[in-house]
Structure 1
Amino acid sequence: MRLLPSKVISPKVGRAAVDRYISGIGLGLLLLGAGCRGLRAERQTHALSTARQWSLRGSDFLQQEKYGDAENLFAEALRHSQADERAHWGMAEVLWEQGDEDQAIAHMEQAAVISGANPRGANPDLIVRLGEMAFARGDYAGALKQADAALSSQRDHGGGWALRGKVLQHQSDWEGAKFSFHRALAAQEHYPEVQIALAEIYQTSGRPQRALATLDAMMDAVQEDEVSSTAWLLRGQAFADLGQQRDAKLCLRQASLNATDEECELLLKVAEKQIDFGELAEARVCLGRALRHDPNNQNARRIQEQLDLSFQSFTSKSSLIGFELPTP
C-alpha cells in the first residue's frame, strides 16, 4: 500500500496559528477580568444601596433625637458599605451629641470626602458642618478655612457666609462680619441665627434703630412664641437705648419667660437691665434662676450685691414717705 505523504505546515502558517491562539487566550482573560470587575461593581452597588436604606432609617431616629437607635442603624449601614455619605454624616452627628468629638469630626470629614467624588463637587453643607464643629472646639482658623472651602464649592452658599461671619464676629472684625452676614441673607432671606448676630453687631456699635429693624424683619416671618430669648433681650436693649422704657420692659419680661435656666448669662443680663429700670422683683426672679443653675457664678454674685443695694435704697426712700416695702 502506498502511503501518501503527510501534509507539511509551513513555519509561516504555524506562527499565525499560534498568534491566533495566544490572542484568543488574551481576549478570554480580558473578558473574564471584565466579568469579575462587573460582578464586583454590582456587589458594591448592591451593598451601597442596602447601606443607604439603613442610613435613611437612622436619619429618622436622629431627627427624633433617639441617638442610641440612630447609632445602631448608622453602624449597620457602615457595615454594609463605607461609601455611604449619609451614614458617615449621621454617625458624626450622633457621636458629637455623645461627646466623642474626635470621632465625630473623622466621620464628618469622610462624608465630605465621599461627597467630593460627586461630579457636582463636594457637598458644602457637610463642609460647613465641619467648620461649625471646629468653631465649637475653639479652632477659629479651622472654622474659617472650612467656610472658605464651602464658598469655593458654592459661592452663594448661605451657611458658608454665615459661618464666615460668625468667625469674624468672634474676632471683632465687625465690618467683615457684617459683609458676610449680609451675603448670607442675600442667599437665604429668613435666617434667624444670622439676623440675631447682625442685630448684636448693630446694637454694640451704637445703632439700636438698625438693630430693631433687623429683628423686626426676622420676627415678621415667625410666630411670636417662636422668637428666641436672645432676640427679645436684644429688642429690650435697643428700646432702652432709644429711651422707650415701656417697650424695653415688655421685651425683657418676654426674654425672661422664653429663657431656659441653662441660659444663665442671658438671665443675668435681663436682671441687670431690670435693676436699672427699678423692676427689682422681676430682677430677683431672673437672678434666682441663674444662681440655681450656677451657684458659684461670680457675675451673679456681683448682680446680687447690686440688687440688694437697690432694695435697701428703695426701702429707705419708701420709709421717708410712710410706705413700707413688702419683704421680697
Structure 2
Amino acid sequence: MFPAAAVVGGRDAAGQDRFALPGTARAASARLPRKARQRDGPEKSPVGSGSRPLPSPQGLLLAHVHSSSSTAAFIAGVAIVVATCGSGCRLVRQRGPVPADLAAARRLSNEGLSAVDHSDLARAEKLLEQAVRSCPLDVDARRHYAEVLWKRGERTAAVMQVAEALKLSPEDTGLCVEGGRMYLELGLFGDAERLSREAVRLAPQSAPAWHLRGQVALARGQAELGLADLHRALAIAPDDRDVLLDTAEAYRRLERPQRVLATLAVLGDTYSPGQTPADVLAMEGQAQEALGRIADAAESYRLAVARGDASPVAAERLAALEKTGPR
C-alpha cells in the first residue's frame, strides 16, 4: 500500500487515542515583508524554466511565520512549493497541456471509480493507489483512495489519506465533513467536532456541515445542542432523510414523542408506500408506546420486524406488547 504520511497522534479529553488531520485549523497567512521581497527579487513560478533556483520550503515558511496579514494565495503557494519539492508531480498551469503525471493520475482514478461501480473494491484500491503515486498532489485521487480504503475496512489508512488531502486543500469543506464522519465513527469525538466546526466556518450554508456538527453533539450526549444544529441543516435541506432521522432521534432523547412522530411523518413522506425502512418504523413504535398508544406501537413494531432488517429492540418490544395484551 502507498505509504501515507503519519497522522499526528495524541489523546482527547476522554483519554481516547486521537489522530489529527493537519491543515484543518484556520490558518493565518500573509504577504512577504518588503525586505524579504527585495532580498529574494521578483517571484518566479515554481515550475518555471529559469536558472534561478527555487527558494527552499524552509525559507518560505520562515517568511510566512514573520508575516502579519492574511492572504490565502500565499498559503497556497507555500503548500504547493513544499509539495512539489518533494514529489515528481508537476503542477497544472492555468492554460496549456495537462502534465503527463496528472493525466495518468486522472486516468487511473477514473478506472478505479469504474471498478467501484462494479463492486470490485480490491482492484479499485490498487488503481487509486497508483493514481496517488503518479501524482501525490492530486486531491481527488487521495479523496477517492480514502473512500475505498474505508469501505475495505482499512480505516487508519483512510484517515491518513484524508489528512494528506487536507494538507493540499485545507479549505475543502467536503474533505472536512468526510474526515469528521470518519472520526465520529471511530469514536474520536474531539477531532470530529474540530472538523465539523471548521466545515461550518468554511461553508455556513452547507447542510452536511451542520448535520455533522449535530451528529457529534448527539454522540456526546448533548441532544439540545445537536437538535439546534440539525434544525440548521433542515433549514437548508428540508427533505434530507438522514438529517430528518437524526432530528427524530434528538427529539426521542429529549423525551418529546409528539415531535418524534411529527418528524417521522415528514420523513415517511419521502418514501413510496410500503418502503419505509425498519429503523424508522421501530422509532415510530417507540414514540407511540411512550404516548400510551399500545396498539399503534405494536403495529409499527410488527411492520419493522417484517422488513427483515429491524433491530432486535423492535422484536423484543413487539413480544412484550403482545404478551401483555391490549390496554
Under a length normalisation based on structure 2, what TM-score does the superposition of the two structures give? 0.66
2:139 is the alignment partner of 1:93: no
Which residue number in structure 2 is paired with residue 244 of structure 1?
293
Q: Give ranges in structure 2 of 5+ residues lacking alignment.
A: 1-47, 55-89
Which of residues 169, 186, 189 in structure 2 aligns to 1:137? 186
Aligned positions of 1:159-178 closer than 5 A: 159-178=208-227
Which of residues 34, 37, 50 in structure 2 aligns to 1:33? 50
Which residue number in structure 2 is paired with residue 103 of structure 1?
157
The Cα shift of 1:32 comes to: 5.7
For 1:188 and 1:180, how far apart are their aligned partners in 2? 12
2:101 is the alignment partner of 1:47: yes
Which of residues 140, 148, 172 in structure 2 aligns to 1:123? 172
The alpha-carbon distance between structure 1 residues 54 and 191, as it changes in their structure 2 partners (threshold 3 A), is: same
For 1:143 and 1:228, how far apart are their aligned partners in 2? 27
Which of residues 185, 196, 205 in structure 1 aligns to 2:254? 205
CA RMSD of the aligned region, Å? 2.6
The alpha-carbon distance between structure 1 residues 250 and 101, as it changes in their structure 2 partners (threshold 3 A), is: same
Which residue number in structure 2 is paired with residue 306 of structure 1?
none
Higher alpha-carbon Rg: 1
The alpha-carbon distance between structure 1 residues 144 and 64, as it changes in their structure 2 partners (threshold 3 A), is: farther
Which of residues 219, 231, 238 in structure 1 aligns to 2:280? 231
For 1:145 and 1:65, how far apart are their aligned partners in 2? 33
The alignment-based identity, stated in percent, is 27
The Cα shift of 1:206 comes to: 2.6
The Cα shift of 1:176 comes to: 0.4
Under a length normalisation based on structure 1, what TM-score does the superposition of the two structures give? 0.66
The amino acid across from 1:33 in the alignment is G
The alpha-carbon distance between structure 1 residues 85 and 276, as it changes in their structure 2 partners (threshold 3 A), is: same
- Contact kept, 8 Å, 1:74 with 1:91, in 2: the verdict is yes
Q: Give ranges in structure 1 of 5+ residues lacking alignment.
A: 1-30, 117-121, 281-309, 315-328
- 1:28-61 deviation line (CA, Å, top 9, x unaligned): xxx9627999xx6578733212211221221232
2:294 is the alignment partner of 1:277: no
Which residue number in structure 2 is paired with residue 61 of structure 1?
115
Which residue number in structure 2 is paired with residue 148 of structure 1?
197
Task: Figure out how many residues of one structure are paired with residues of the other and give that number.
Answer: 239
For 2:209 and 2:254, how far apart are their aligned partners in 1? 24
Greater length-normalized contact order (CA 8 Å, ≥ 6 residues apart): 2
Which structure's residues are more often helix, by fraction? 1
- Contact kept, 8 Å, 1:62 with 1:90, in 2: the verdict is no
